[in-house]
Amino acid sequence: MSSFRRRALIAAVSVVGVAAVASVVAFVLRAQPAVQEFMVRYSGVAEPAAGTPVGIPVWLNVTHVLNVLFLLLIIRTALSIRSKKRPPAFWTPGYRVLGQAPRRVGINVWLHNTVDILWVINGAVYLVLLFATGQWMRVVPTTWDVFPNAVSAALQYLTFTWPVENPWIAYNSLQVLAYFGVTFLLAPLAIVTGIRLSQAWPLDAPRLNRWVPEKPLRRIHNWVLFLFMAFIVVHVGLVLFTGAVHNLNVMFAASDSMSWLGTTLFVVSLAVLAAVWFALTPSVQKRLAALSGKVR
């Protein structure tokens, strides 16, 4: 077993173990009258700020599904870079990257960075629209009440009662914190640490490189991968197990209904995803990479 697989297995077993212990503790806590009073006071969903828009617009569905597509390709190439296997080809940019002399990289690094650019553009569009439309108020905590409500929601998840919320109106506080965390902390961390590893970084600046050393930043960049994968497993698991038909309508069909439209669009998006995934064979990657540099 590779060291990555072994570490992933140990991490998965530890998470299940910690969750089991946390669940027992949560059941004991929920039996206490004081905790029951606390949970009546804090239902798990903080009151939305005045003026928070109701409903999810189509642009949010589109940027969300593109984000899924790009992130899966980023993760695929990240795992391929991590595997340290010799890539099927190498790419040397045909231009200076932010003034740096062109450096040769594996074709998997080329694909990783090409998709990174698309991912960052999509993320920027999402953020601009989020702030232009007031939708930010659903994913940025606007009151300290999110913290006790997040504790309440956690106690509910751990005791296998799903917090009562309607994602069309407001997310529960644990969702707010998780969505805020991936959008405003994890994604920027990926970008900042990724730039240090990229061809845009000057390698001939010894003082700068002493202040911003490669090794710890590469380690943080790897942690980003682990945290994104953990988020995705929990997020997709909860979406599917807490009312999949309604959740998928909200995020894939901009609809609050119980129709099958969202589920259908979700399945279609999975098919598109698989088509792109399998279309990106090494020979297609080489042809695409040759458009912007030398491939050997």
Contact between 174 and ligand HEM by CB under 6 A: the answer reads no
What string marks each residue from 96 to 135 as x (binds ligand HEM by CB under 6 A) or -?
A: ---------x---x--xx--x---x--------------x
Biggest alpha carbon–alpha carbon distance for the chain: 69
Q: H/E element holding 167? A: none
For residue 18, with 0-12 CB atoms within 10 Å meaning exposed, 13-18 middle and 19 or more buried, which class applies? exposed
Q: Which residues contact 239 (CB under 8 A, 6 or more apart)?
A: 247, 248, 251
Q: Scanning residues 27 to 66, which ones bind ligand HEM (CB under 6 A)?
A: 60, 64
**Nearer Cβ to ligand HEM, position 239 or 280?**
239
First to last CA, the chain: 32
Q: Which stretch binds ligand HEM (CB under 6 A): 76-84, 94-102, 146-154, 155-163?
A: 76-84
Give CA–CA dist 220/284, Å, rounded.
31
Q: Map residue 293 onto helix, strand or coil.
A: strand
**Nearer Cβ to ligand HEM, position 159 or 166?**
166
* Residue at 39: amino acid letter: M
β-sheet bridge partners, residue 3: none
* Shortest Cβ 291–ligand HEM spacing (Å): 19
Q: Scanning residues 187 to 246, which ones bind ligand HEM (CB under 6 A)?
A: 190-191, 194-195, 197-198, 218, 221-222, 224-225, 228, 232, 235-236, 239-240
Decide the pairing of beta strands 105-106 and 293-295.
unpaired
Q: How many CA atoms lie within 13 A of 238 on its CB side?
A: 18
For residue 288, with 0-12 CB atoms within 10 Å meaning exposed, 13-18 middle and 19 or more buried, which class applies? middle
Interface with ligand HEM (CB under 6 A), residue total 46
What string marks each residue from 133 to 162 as x (binds ligand HEM by CB under 6 A) or -?
A: --x--xx-----------------------
Contact between 166 and ligand HEM by CB under 6 A: the answer reads no
**Nearer Cβ to ligand HEM, position 30 or 235?**
235
Contact between 176 and ligand HEM by CB under 6 A: the answer reads no
Give CA–CA dist 251/248, Å, rounded.
5
Give CA–CA dist 17/27, Å, rounded.
16
Position closest to ligand HEM via CB: 194
Footprint of ligand HEM (CB under 6 A): 60, 64, 67-68, 71, 74-75, 78, 81-82, 105, 109, 112-113, 116, 120, 135, 138-139, 167, 175, 179, 182-183, 190-191, 194-195, 197-198, 218, 221-222, 224-225, 228, 232, 235-236, 239-240, 247-248, 250-251, 266
